[in-house]
Amino acid sequence: VKPGYYLKITSGPGEGQIRVICEVTSATEIVVEKFTEDPTSSSSYIINDEGEYHTSWAAFFANKAGAQQFIITQVPDDIVNDANWRGAIDKTKENVSGRQGWCLVPLYSMDANESLISYIKTYLQNMNSTLTNKERIALFGAKTNLTATDIISLLNGIKYERIGVIVNPYATYDDNTFGSEYLAAYVAGLFCNPDYDAGEPISGKIVSAFDYIDDPFITFEKNQFGQNGGIVIEKQGVDYKIVHFLSTDTTDIIKAELKVTKQKDVIKKRMRTIVENSIVNSRSAESARSRANSLVTMILDDMVAKNEISDYKDLKLEFDANDPRQLNISFTFKPTFDINWVYVTFGATIS
């Protein structure tokens, strides 16, 4: 038993309530968030590290944010260990009923020591390779008990443009407490919302499915999280909002913005669907190159017109010099970015 595990009251006073364990103070004593109805010595409970409500609640929150389709896998027999987690993740490699998943949300909160992180990074790299061509990103939740220093260590330990981390410790809904991995499920639902195109800002979006979202950090700490690629949700007025939708790799603007990764993936999927269906298995001739040029231009012009991307340039289509069976297409695109800050300068004069 350790912080980040879940306690569920299974019978007696307080039955059905679930709380994240915040602290283990002794071999017989733990600290959890306040119960709506306190359990007594006659109450029974169970403790494990994945919760008793994981997949259905995660899909519920993601759907609240707009996601319409889900691919859900579960560790075998609810035995939570690295091997079973890896097996569950591996099941998402294949399409389900012709559908391809995109945003992976492990329902397990993370700290810098989790060996599962390196496995997921390798999984994402393999899925996004030109050999596999099945685009993936991932959103994590940070463990409940982490200090600001711990969170920064977690972010720096990941440092990958296809992984985002929600740093808020927990949230509540309907008398239950949920770890930040369920906040990640909601944010994934926003990111996968079919009503939002690739240029849609996620920064500033309202997180509306929870009654309360814990935000214990001071402004300086939250600024540090942002500089290191953490996703913070904070209360602004009456609403909880995503401050900045970042990846854990902030080495440059392109890698830092998860929204740009989505734009890259949408371009790849559209090119693969439209261009390959039209060109592959046709004759290697100038007419095929010309047709491909028209299709690529149509796709990119449409994305510019919809403000999914800002612009593109240097479009080239050439048959490979060493293998005429291969048509090489290359271009550079300018992503759309969100306005996150306004900087005003002015002076005063008497003339």
Q: Which two tokens stand for residue 86?
A: 């890896």
CA end-to-end span of the chain, whole Å? 71
Question: Long-range CB contacts (< 8 A, 24+ apart) of 14-21?
Answer: 14/38, 14/39, 14/40, 14/43, 15/43, 17/175, 17/176, 18/51, 18/52, 18/53, 18/176, 18/177, 19/176, 19/177, 20/144, 20/169, 20/170, 20/177, 20/178, 20/179, 21/47, 21/144
The CA-atom distances, in angstroms, between 351 and each of 344, 345, 346, 347 are 21, 18, 15, 12
The distance from CA 45 to its chain's CA centroid, rounded to whole angstroms, is: 32
| Residues in contact with 286: Cβ distance below 8 Å, sequence separation at least 6, in sequence order | none
**243, 300, 318 from 246: Cα distances, Å:** 9, 25, 36
Looking at residue 263, the DSSP 8-state letter turns out to be: H
- CA torsion, points 82, 191, 189, 85, in degrees to nearest 10? -10
Could you list the pLDDT tens digit for every one of the 351 residues in the chain? 777 777 888 899 988 887 878 888 888 888 887 888 899 999 998 887 655 456 778 999 999 999 998 888 876 655 667 888 898 899 899 888 888 899 999 988 999 999 999 999 999 999 999 999 999 999 999 999 899 999 999 999 999 999 999 999 999 998 888 999 999 999 999 999 999 999 999 999 999 999 999 999 999 999 999 999 999 999 999 999 999 999 999 999 999 999 999 999 999 999 988 988 888 888 878 888 899 999 999 999 999 999 999 999 999 999 999 998 899 999 999 999 998 888 899 899 998
Give Rg (Cα) of the chain.
23
Strand duo 163-166 + 137-141: pairing: parallel
| Closest to 186 (Cα-Cα) out of 99, 69, 60, 88 | 60
